[in-house]
């Protein structure tokens, strides 16, 4: 039953929603000669005005993506995300290997395309199953920002996308390299603090520098209870050993803040 919905949804996307100019060339695939779409028939109103080359390319893309979709655990809650992701990869990006910035572009495309409320955890799980492990971390950055909002409205999820674009500028590669030097402490604890620090900078203190070391005790008190003091000391020690405290954070904050404002205003 779910796969019937997938087929119908993909047909509608390819033959009605998407700009036909995307299919004017052979979109990287060989042109087919038969007007077939597996077990589904193309609705007449979708094809009556389609030029032959465009129609053949649409059919090939449909069949190609259907075969790819069959390999994934599709559900009522995730199949649209899979369709949008494959659309983007094969019709817009056309890259075999995605960078962190490419992955954020993919997230932005899915968010912009989806017309229903988005479950960020579900979206993250879907994209993680598609993306090269070397860049999956940026998806978790996005998820972390979505969790900071009490009410994840459409506007807030777009804001989280803009924050992820900015965080990529702020954190990678230099800050991330420092995080990965963490010893005697799970690096994810330091990573969680940096994400929280950056979110609060953008959401509450934009254009006002927040001293990194002053924020550690507040974060640990809010998140580690009776272990707050010990965790605070461990984070501060690691920040010192990794060289993070001596970095030019203000410059990184200013540069990434400009990226945030640009992305926020255009999403």
* pLDDT surpasses 60 at 28: no
Q: Where are the domains of the chain?
A: 1-71, 96-267
Is the full-model pTM beyond 0.95? no
* Residue 34 pLDDT class (50, 70, 90 cuts): very low
From the list 84, 90, 86, the residue with the least C-alpha distance to 112 is: 84
* pLDDT surpasses 60 at 25: yes
* pLDDT surpasses 50 at 32: no
Q: What is the mean pLDDT of residues 207-226?
A: 91
- Tell me: the pLDDT tens digits for 1-20? 689 999 999 999 999 999 99
- Whole-number percent of the chain with pLDDT over 70: 89
Q: What is the mean pLDDT of residues 61-72?
A: 95
Q: What is the mean pLDDT of residues 204-232?
A: 91
- Res 26: pLDDT: 59
DSSP secondary structure letters along the chain: -HHHHHHHHHHHIIIIIS-GGGGSS-TTSPPP-S---TT-PPPHHHHTT--HHHHHHHHHHHHHHHHHHTTS---TTTHHHHHHHHHIIIIII--SS--HHHHHHHHHHHHHH--S---HHHHHHHHHTTS-GGGTHHHHHHHHHHHT-SS--HHHHHHHHHHHHHHHHHHTTHHHHHHTT--SS-HHHHHHHHHHHHHHHHHH-TTS---HHHHHHHHHHHHHGGGHHHHHHHHHHHHHHHTGGGS-HHHHHHHHHHHHHHHHTT-
* pLDDT surpasses 90 at 210: no
More confident residue, 67 or 51: 67
Q: What is the mean pLDDT of residues 62-85?
A: 96
- Whole-number percent of the chain with pLDDT over 90: 74
Q: What is the mean pLDDT of residues 38-55?
A: 59
Q: What is the mean pLDDT of residues 87-102?
A: 93
More confident residue, 249 or 87: 87
Count how many Cα atoms sit within 13 Å of the Cα of residue 134 in the half-sphere of its side chain.
Answer: 6
- Cα distance between the two ends of the chain: 34
From the list 173, 175, 169, 172, the residue with the least C-alpha distance to 193 is: 175
Alpha-carbon span 164 to 220, nearest angstrom: 23
């Amino acid at each position: 039953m779910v796969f019937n919905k997938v087929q119908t949804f993909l047909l509608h996307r390819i033959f009605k929603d998407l700009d036909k100019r995307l299919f004017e060339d052979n979109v990287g695939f060989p042109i087919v000669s038969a007007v077939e779409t597996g077990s589904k028939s193309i609705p007449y109103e979708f094809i009556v005005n389609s030029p032959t080359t465009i129609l053949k390319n649409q059919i090939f893309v449909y069949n190609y993506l259907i075969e790819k979709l069959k390999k994934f655990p599709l559900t009522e809650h995730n199949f649209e995300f899979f369709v949008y992701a494959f659309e983007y990869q094969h019709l817009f990006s056309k890259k075999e290997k995605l960078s962190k910035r490419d992955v954020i572009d993919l997230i932005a495309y899915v968010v912009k395309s989806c017309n229903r409320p988005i479950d960020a955890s579900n979206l993250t799980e879907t994209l993680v199953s598609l993306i090269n492990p070397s860049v999956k971390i940026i998806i978790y950055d996005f998820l972390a920002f979505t969790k900071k909002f009490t009410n994840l409205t459409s506007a807030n999820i777009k804001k989280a996308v803009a924050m992820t674009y900015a965080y990529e500028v702020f954190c990678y590669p230099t800050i991330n390299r420092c995080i990965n030097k963490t010893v005697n402490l799970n690096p994810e604890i330091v990573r969680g603090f940096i994400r929280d620090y950056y979110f609060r900078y953008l959401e509450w203190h934009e254009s006002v520098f927040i001293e990194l070391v002053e924020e550690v005790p507040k974060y640990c008190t809010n998140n580690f209870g009776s272990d707050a003091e010990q965790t605070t000391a461990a984070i501060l020690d690691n920040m010192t050993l990794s060289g993070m405290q001596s970095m030019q954070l203000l410059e990184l904050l200013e540069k990434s803040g400009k990226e945030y404002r640009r992305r926020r205003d255009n999403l």
